[in-house]
Amino acid sequence: MFDAIELKKQFPIFSNHPDLIYLDNAATMQKPLCVLDAERFYYENHNANVHRGAHRLATAATDAYEGARHVVAQFINAPSHEEIIFTRGTTEAINLVANSWGNSLNTGDEIILSTLEHHANIVPWQMLAERRGVIIKIIKLDEHGAVDLAHFSSLLSNKTKLVAISHVSNAIGSIQPIQLICEAAHHAGAKVLVDGAQAVAHLNIDVQELGADFYAFSGHKVYGPTGIGALWVESNTLNSMSPWQGGGEMIAAVSFSGSTYAAAPYRFEAGTPAIAQAVGLSAALTWISALDRAALLNHEQQLRQQLEEGLIQMTGISIHGQSPDKAALTSMTFAGAHPYDVAQFLDHKGIAVRVGHHCAQPLLQSLGVSGTLRASFAAYNTSSDVDAFLVALHETLEILG
Ligand code: PMP
């Protein structure tokens, strides 16, 4: 049995807001005390700049930062910690790939995206397309809101250089069959970038088993701090990539006649990195790894089912995205009420949800709606949260409708 009530006690935000029902986890997750403590401990005991120092604090800070790289590698089963680049998050990770590896693409090369991508996995490729004459193709979705694999196959050709795809949709929750997508893409000679922002907190990620070439995620969506994330790159690809930002930390030697660059991953980490945040991320990944992940997944799925069963009993509610393989979030619209108005009423009752286009405007256009209300779950949510949501939603719709 997964004891969410007990686990919730580890999250100070709920002591400070005892009535809070937090169902906005896909936007960002709350942090357990051990993550907050890890950052504070680092600042109180080890704070220094990393890599170059000749004093004991610099060594301690470097050990903490590099130790976090090992923890990230282990968490996603990367073959080596040297394949992990720290970034500010998923957005920066994808921009890094577009501005580094992407510059090897030429006019007429093709990149395949899907309809359900977050803007972070659309706009960097559009900017690349403008710079290099690359063509972007879009995979349609099936009737359940997952990528249409037949359509995907029809888009693949020897012109395809990259397939960039979300593991889990942040807007409707569908889980993509990444292994199948990687096999087909590799068969066509293309690489695969997986946007794992919504996947890492819910699924066990094994980048080797998935067979991807790039895997990106954000710390704050897996119980860790903001301002830190990671990009894993398969080593052959990584070693072929040029740096995208210049500065300190990423060089081998600098002179006015030219500079040479450090080995990967350091040549992709210009400037002083987010050291304390990396330490916090490491604590978050260690924390979640100690949980029974199968029981956690089951717990979150039960909450989603409870929610969706409750919604089906009510009239005038559409649930968007009914993929059989779906993460623990539910996106909905209402026949007689605007999602934003509903969310305002829910907020008065202490219930936090997300409304809007969820940075996935093309997806919402394809669904024929301008915005949805999204409830998304994490380890500390309980079935009484879902009950409270359903009661509050019922009351809200009575008032609004
Ligand atoms: N991709 C997906 C699927 C996301 O849900 C998000 C965050 N909403 C991002 C990318 C961007 O993540 P970040 O803002 O942390 O860089």
DSSP letter string over 240-306? TPPPSS-STTSEEEEETTEEEEPPTTGGG--SS--HHHHHHHHHHHHHHHTS-HHHHHHHHHHHHHH
End-to-end, the C-alpha distance of the chain in Å comes to 39
Hunting for tokens 């719709």 — which residue is that? 397
Domain boundary assignment for the chain: 4-23+292-400, 35-289
CATH of 4-23+292-400, one of 3.90.1150.10, 1.20.1050.10, 3.50.50.60, 3.40.220.10: 3.90.1150.10
Q: Which atom of ligand 1 is nearest to the CA of 166?
A: 3
Q: Report residues whose beta carbon is within 6 angstroms of any ligand 1 atom.
A: 89-91, 118, 120-121, 166, 170, 195, 197-198, 218, 359
Q: Is 249 exposed, middle or buried (0-12, 13-18, 19+ CB in 10 A)?
A: middle
pTM (whole model) above 0.90:
yes
Could you check whether 4-23+292-400 and 35-289 share the same CATH topology? no
Q: Do 217 and 230 contact (CB within 8 A), yes or no?
A: yes
Pocket test for ligand 1, best of 147, 198, 231 (most atoms within 8 A of CB): 198
CA of 286 to the centre of ligand 1 (A): 21
Q: Interface pTM (ipTM) of the complex?
A: 0.99
Single out the residue of 333, 325, 284, 287 nearest to residue 304, CA to CA.
Answer: 325
What is the DSSP pairing of strand 229-233 with strand 84-87?
Answer: antiparallel
CA of 90 to the centre of ligand 1 (A): 6
pLDDT tens, the chain, 401 aa long: 799 999 999 999 999 999 999 999 999 999 999 999 999 999 999 999 999 779 999 999 999 999 999 999 999 999 999 999 999 999 999 999 999 999 999 999 999 999 999 999 999 999 999 999 999 999 999 999 999 999 999 999 999 999 999 999 999 999 999 999 999 999 999 999 999 999 999 999 999 999 999 999 999 999 999 999 999 999 999 999 999 999 999 999 999 999 999 999 999 999 999 999 999 999 999 999 999 999 999 999 999 999 999 999 999 999 999 989 999 999 999 998 999 999 999 999 999 999 999 999 999 999 999 999 999 999 999 999 999 999 999 999 999 97
- The catalytic residue among 182, 327, 359, 378 is 359
CA of 256 to the centre of ligand 1 (A): 39
Pocket test for ligand 1, best of 24, 116, 118, 193 (most atoms within 8 A of CB): 118
Q: Residue 288 has which token pair?
A: 């979640």
Identify the CATH number of the domain defined by range 35-289.
3.40.640.10
Query: C-alpha distances in angstroms, 179 versus 67, 117, 136?
Result: 29, 18, 22
One-letter amino acid at 270 equals A
CA of 254 to the centre of ligand 1 (A): 35
Query: C-alpha distances in angstroms, 286 versus 77, 197, 223?
Result: 14, 18, 10
182 is known as an active-site residue: no
Q: Do 112 and 160 contact (CB within 8 A), yes or no?
A: yes
How far is residue 107 CA from its own chain's centroid? Answer: 30
